[in-house]
Structure 1
Amino acid sequence: MNNSNIPNQEKSHPAFEVYKVLDKGFIRLVDCMPSPCDPNSISADDAIAQMARVSYGGGTDKKRDNSGLINYLMENRHTSPFEGVVLKFHIKMPIFVERQMSRHRTSSQNQLSARYSVLPNDFYIPNPDRCQGQDVDMKQGSCGHLSNNEKISKSINEESNTSYKKYEELLEMGLSRELARTVLSVNIYTEAYWMMNLHNLLHFINLRVSPHAQYEIREYAEKMRETVKRIAPITLNSWEKHVQKSISFSKEDMSIIKECSNVDIELIKNKTEELGWSKRKTDKILSKLNSLS
């Protein structure tokens, strides 16, 4: 693995663009099933529809185009067909970001080993603007401006260099790589190949682009979303519409809404007709609204 430089884009399709992330990191798609570069292969969106239609067998009319079918699958949480598309990424990231990514156990990954290799002197140094105080509302987050942020960023850089010098000294003294690495901090960069099916990847993106996620992992998740947009644009659009930008209510939420709402069912019906909604889609929203009356 090349730990110092951002690799060149290896394939012509835009999905394989190499994205620079943070100060020294990157993320790139290295493989995908189905492959957008194979002229004999169907697209990822078509593969999802194809996998869904096998449920109906032969002799069944094709009632929806692929876009309509994908919307139906996403809206009704029929997830299996989305698992038939698989993406594999090559990622260079700070170890603390990798630890967060490895919490998503539906991924398959293999990481650069500091037992086999000597790690390069590549540390993530947050720029001064990123050096913020502790968020008092979101206990795990950061926010606000610190007047000494430049000093803090410089201090992180100095401590990182100090730990790396100690790492080199221990190696020169003959200590094994697996023990010498213990003096290194979690802002040192590592690399990994990281693979996940599309259904689980969209779930990962949903969690990791959230404002509640740490800024550094959000940066990687946003690049993954951009890659998915280029691999399966219909699916991503449907996911944004039916999952990411939708909301749900608890039973307690519903009881409060029911007490406070006054829904005009006829007005809603007229509006859905004006928008050209299908009967199925109209019936579904009316069923939801009727539960509030």
Structure 2
Amino acid sequence: MTLTPEQQAEIEAQRARTQPTFRATAPGIEAHLYRAQPVLDHGFVRVVDYMGDDAAIVQAARVSYGAGTKHVSNDEGLIRYLMRHWHSTPFEMCEIKLHVKLPVFVARQWIRHRTANVNEYSARYSILDREFYVPAPDALAAQSTVNNQGRGEVLQGEEAERVLRWLRDDAMQAYDHYEEMLSQEGQQGLARELARMNLPASVYTQWYWKTDLHNLFHFLRLRADAHAQYEIRVYADAIAAMVRDWVPAAYAAFEDYRMGGATLSSRALDCIRRMLAGEEVTQENSGMSKGEWREFEAVLHP
């Protein structure tokens, strides 16, 4: 991870500055405020601001004032009820703003989650840093033979070295040309907004990303999943650790019902009832397609 001296000084200044407040604070996320959590080779995630905590979810659900119930177990039970029955609005009362540094190709996956407020570093006004994502050797995998979206075996030996060399050399050459195209002494140069188009998708960008807890949970359910692409999953894992400290009761319910739970169709439930009754159920007599049956078996036998 690379933080500029200016960014590091800003972080230290923000952490040194404290002031009294009447707003609710969450000690778990306060510990993360402004600190940059390293991700990949040059990336990071850091919490810039937040609003709300577990109590804010409970308060919104009861539409009450003050702290609400004094029984923590009752609050946790209510949060679990809300999660279990897909009552999403109370979770929207909590918000978080993150500063993220990430490769452009990861950002293009990430931005598909359109339920956030985003402000990205502008390469029209500023010059991008010479920083590119180069996978670690154990993340350098071939195309999966069974999944068009997934990875197969890790590349080995000379082939791995050849691919890594191309990734580094191509990125460096593209940046060299990017620099040469920009305005320099005695040269008019190309506009920054045009010169950037030659850079590879592995170049790093930065943005501020603000979202509410309901939509953040949806992001984490998809991107912290084992099937998600590794490069976005490690960001989701880092964020998940922060959310666990921020709203422990809500995160525990999310982990139980969303990450660890499963949604079954009426046809799948019927198959389970038949199995419990002692009937032998197969894909052929289940009424499911081969793909549905494969996913159903994965739920029964993870």
Which bracket does the TM-score occupy, shorter chain normalised? 0.7 to 0.9
**1:54 counterpart = 2:72:** no
Matched residue SS, 2:106? helix
Q: Is the 8 A contact 2:44 2:101 kept in 1?
A: yes
Matched residue SS, 2:87? coil
**1:27 counterpart = 2:45:** yes
Q: Higher mean Cα deviation, 247-256 or 80-89? A: 247-256
Matched residue SS, 1:257? helix
- Aligned-partner Cα distance in 1 for 2:167–2:237: 26
- Give 4+ residue runs of structure 1 displaced > 3 Å after superposition: 2-12, 60-64
Cα deviation per residue 1:178-206 (whole Å; 9 max; x = unaligned)? Answer: 11111100100000000100010011001
Matched residue SS, 2:173? helix
- Aligned-partner Cα distance in 1 for 2:166–2:96: 38
- Aligned-partner Cα distance in 1 for 2:63–2:85: 17
Q: Is the 8 A contact 1:3 1:92 kept in 2?
A: no
Q: CA RMSD in A?
A: 2.3
Partner of 2:113: 104
When residues 128 and 255 of structure 1 are mapped into structure 2, their CA distance, relative to the original with a 3 A threshold, is same
Partner of 1:158: 169
- Aligned-partner Cα distance in 1 for 2:262–2:135: 34
- Aligned-partner Cα distance in 2 for 1:207–1:249: 17
When residues 96 and 208 of structure 1 are mapped into structure 2, their CA distance, relative to the original with a 3 A threshold, is same
Partner of 1:79: 88
Shift of 1:243: 1.7
Of 31, 34, 46, 1:14 maps to: 31
Name stretches of at least 5 consecutive residues in structure 1 with no aligned partner: 35-43, 264-293
- Aligned-partner Cα distance in 1 for 2:130–2:195: 14
Shift of 1:228: 0.5
Matched residue SS, 2:169? helix
Partner of 2:208: 193
Of 195, 198, 202, 1:180 maps to: 195
Shift of 1:153: 1.3
* TM-score, length basis structure 1: 0.80
Q: Is the 8 A contact 1:4 1:120 kept in 2?
A: no
Cα deviation per residue 1:211-236 (whole Å; 9 max; x = unaligned)? Answer: 22110000000011011011101110
Cα deviation per residue 1:259-282 (whole Å; 9 max; x = unaligned)? Answer: 22239xxxxxxxxxxxxxxxxxxx
When residues 62 and 238 of structure 1 are mapped into structure 2, their CA distance, relative to the original with a 3 A threshold, is same
Partner of 1:120: 129
Partner of 1:268: none
Of 251, 259, 265, 2:274 maps to: 259
- Aligned-partner Cα distance in 1 for 2:51–2:94: 5
Matched residue SS, 1:65? helix
Shift of 1:67: 1.2
Residues matched between the structures, number: 250
Of 225, 236, 242, 2:257 maps to: 242
- Aligned-partner Cα distance in 1 for 2:139–2:253: 33
Partner of 2:290: none
Shift of 1:62: 8.8
Q: Higher mean Cα deviation, 78-87 or 143-152? A: 143-152
Percent identical among aligned pairs is 38
- Aligned-partner Cα distance in 1 for 2:3–2:180: 21
Name stretches of at least 5 consecutive residues in structure 2 with no aligned partner: 17-29, 279-302
Q: Is the 8 A contact 1:134 1:143 kept in 2?
A: yes
* TM-score, length basis structure 2: 0.77
Q: Is the 8 A contact 2:69 2:75 kept in 1?
A: no
Q: Is the 8 A contact 1:93 1:191 kept in 2?
A: yes
When residues 61 and 45 of structure 1 are mapped into structure 2, their CA distance, relative to the original with a 3 A threshold, is closer
- Aligned-partner Cα distance in 1 for 2:139–2:226: 15
Partner of 2:103: 94
Q: Is the 8 A contact 1:94 1:187 kept in 2?
A: yes
- Aligned-partner Cα distance in 2 for 1:100–1:61: 41
When residues 103 and 199 of structure 1 are mapped into structure 2, their CA distance, relative to the original with a 3 A threshold, is same
- Aligned-partner Cα distance in 1 for 2:220–2:69: 35
Shift of 1:65: 2.1
Shift of 1:4: 4.5
Partner of 1:70: 79
Shift of 1:252: 2.4
Q: Is the 8 A contact 2:83 2:253 kept in 1?
A: yes
